[in-house]
Structure 1
Amino acid sequence: MAGDFLVIERGEAPLVLSFPHTGTALPGAFATRFRSPWLARRDADWHVEQLYAFARDLGATFVRSTVSRSVIDLNRDPSGVSLYPGQATTGLCPTDTFDGEPLYEAGREPDAAEIVSRRERWFDPYHAALAAEIARLRTQHDKVVVYDCHSIRSWIPRLFDGELPQFNIGTNNGVTCAPALEAAVEQACAASGLGHVVNGRFKGGWITRHYGAPEQGVHAIQMELAIRGYLDEPRTITPQNWPVAWAPAYAEAVTATLRTILEGALAFARA
């Protein structure tokens, strides 16, 4: 069933956390369809749902997928249009990894009909659920914050130069949320001393751009975290050392900042 991949936890606060890339499941034939199951899971947003577990105490709503982004990327434009024209990126049904390695043997990539099938099976139900939770909370609150939770390896030369800043805030150049929310999030990140950027390499994916409608009371923001801040990330990863196990103590500094960010988002929504 399509719903089997969705995890929805409802809260009553004006805050929705979206987790489109934490899944690692390779349903059915996908376990053998890819060149390597490890490659197909390697670019997951590892342990991000555990990193934000504290948000349950804040009354946040969680919408999460358990399916690998290599099967379907729930944060891409379903039309196939690139969100970052002229820059390396991956598509709705990726055919390569962040590092440019092919996910499939030649000739086994998904064709147009299969991409439509995957969209109907996973993409559409995820976004129907996310939209429903936003609509539910909008009946209770004048403003709702949609906070899209992501992480990525700190060193990926194909995607960006050097070491990625710790906190990468995306609002599509200020379009997807009110300036006050963007400023509150940036202030919290700056206070951490860990490094941050606003609308740098990651300006917000399809979720942020699609749902962000400040004039309608929906304020969307993406947070892309460099993984080194909450996991003991190796500079070079291999099947032997990746993924790294979740260790709450290692993530304490980043967790503290994320709590400040979400508390600030709630203060904005309730103001």
Structure 2
Amino acid sequence: MAKVLTFNRGRVPLLISMPHPGTQLTPAVEAGMVAAGLELADTDWHIPRLYEFAAELGASTLAAEYSRYVIDLNRPADDKPLYTTATTGLYPETLFDGAPLYREGLTPSANERARYLAEIWTPYHQTIVDELARMKAEFGYALLFDAHSIRSLIPHLFEGRLPDLNLGTNAGASCDPSLAEALVATCGEARDYSHVLNGRFKGGHITRHYGQPEQHIHAVQLELSQRCYMEEAPPYPYVEDRAQQLQTVLRNLLQAMLSWGQQRYGR
């Protein structure tokens, strides 16, 4: 197995998790996929580049290297569905538009998938566990920001055009309400962007599982509309001027999160 993640430890109690920017495929997945799948259209394109500025804020960052088509790091290990609406599972077998991901009879074997769970999913989540524990031991609390992006129009998953900034807090269960209020207020100041709290995207497994505000671990997911920083058609290029404008908003969101923590916990 090649390198499965990139982790950089910061100096403040904020971890930015990026589970879906990876593009690496295993031989079994690549050999079985349909031609459309090889475009990796459902990737959270360029997310590590978009959040490069986070190092200046002192945040820790964690990014996956393998594609979500191999194993989805934002799904639980038991593959229990997170949404009642259309979605994909731990081992995706359809594209976001509902079309099959694999040619008939060519899905990876159960043994292959067990290896992906052990060698890709588990190290990513162990890194989250370890870093949140370190932050809590050092600061008394930890903040987790789960960073995602998606095409703005996917009729199979949601109606109409997706808002630009989609905050998710598991319907209020994954962080203190006052933190969610601070982030919504920050989005409201970004007048060029639409936003919603707990709309179509309420937070996946990472937000739901690790967000434990009663234990002083606060988790928030942000699902970005990709049209805000890139072109949504192959080869999915990064658009620098759009990205720079969006980075100002993202920086403000992360700073708001850190400021909230300092005010709440005094450090």
SS where residue 140 of structure 1 aligns? Answer: helix
Q: 1:96 aligns with which of 91, 94, 97?
A: 94
SS where residue 256 of structure 1 aligns? Answer: helix
Say whether 1:243 aligns with 2:235. Answer: yes
* 1:145 match: 143
Q: Equivalents in 2 of 1:178, 1:118: separation in Å?
A: 34
Distance 1:167 1:23, change over 3 A: same
* 1:61 match: 60
Q: TM-score, normalised by structure 1?
A: 0.92
Distance 1:24 1:62, change over 3 A: same
Q: Equivalents in 1 of 2:28, 2:71: separation in Å?
A: 14
The alpha carbon displacement at 1:211 in A equals 0.3
Amino acid corresponding to residue 95 of structure 1 in structure 2: E
The alpha carbon displacement at 1:146 in A equals 0.2
Amino acid corresponding to residue 265 of structure 1 in structure 2: M
Q: Equivalents in 1 of 2:38, 2:105: separation in Å?
A: 18
Q: Equivalents in 2 of 1:26, 1:74: separation in Å?
A: 14
List gaps (5 residues or longer) in structure 1.
none
Distance 1:110 1:38, change over 3 A: closer
The alpha carbon displacement at 1:111 in A equals 4.5
SS where residue 53 of structure 1 aligns? Answer: coil
Question: Retained in 2: the 8 A contact 1:22–1:65?
Answer: yes
Mapping for residues 1-271 of structure 1, pairs under 5 Å: 1=1, 4-36=3-35, 38-39=37-38, 41-85=40-84, 87-193=85-191, 194-233=193-232, 237=233, 242-271=234-263
The alpha carbon displacement at 1:116 in A equals 2.3
Q: TM-score, normalised by structure 2?
A: 0.94
The alpha carbon displacement at 1:247 in A equals 2.9
List gaps (5 residues or longer) in structure 2.
none
Amino acid corresponding to residue 99 of structure 2 in structure 1: E
Amino acid corresponding to residue 103 of structure 2 in structure 1: E
Q: Equivalents in 1 of 2:231, 2:72: separation in Å?
A: 26
The alpha carbon displacement at 1:37 in A equals 6.9
Question: Retained in 1: the 8 A contact 2:37–2:101?
Answer: no
Question: Retained in 1: the 8 A contact 2:32–2:107?
Answer: no
The alpha carbon displacement at 1:10 in A equals 0.5
The alpha carbon displacement at 1:109 in A equals 1.9
Amino acid corresponding to residue 83 of structure 2 in structure 1: Y
Question: Retained in 2: the 8 A contact 1:42–1:243?
Answer: no
Aligned length: 262
Question: Retained in 2: the 8 A contact 1:76–1:91?
Answer: yes
Q: Equivalents in 1 of 2:180, 2:109: separation in Å?
A: 39
Q: Equivalents in 2 of 1:224, 1:75: separation in Å?
A: 13
The alpha carbon displacement at 1:251 in A equals 1.4
The alpha carbon displacement at 1:215 in A equals 1.0
Amino acid corresponding to residue 127 of structure 2 in structure 1: A
- The range that moved more, 185-194 or 52-61, is 185-194
RMSD over aligned Cα, in angstroms? 1.5
Question: Retained in 2: the 8 A contact 1:90–1:96?
Answer: yes
SS where residue 148 of structure 2 aligns? Answer: strand
Cα deviations across residues 102-121 of structure 1 (Å, max 9, x unaligned)?
A: 11111122344433222112
Deviating above 4 A after TM superposition, structure 1's stretches of 4 or more consecutive aligned residues are: none
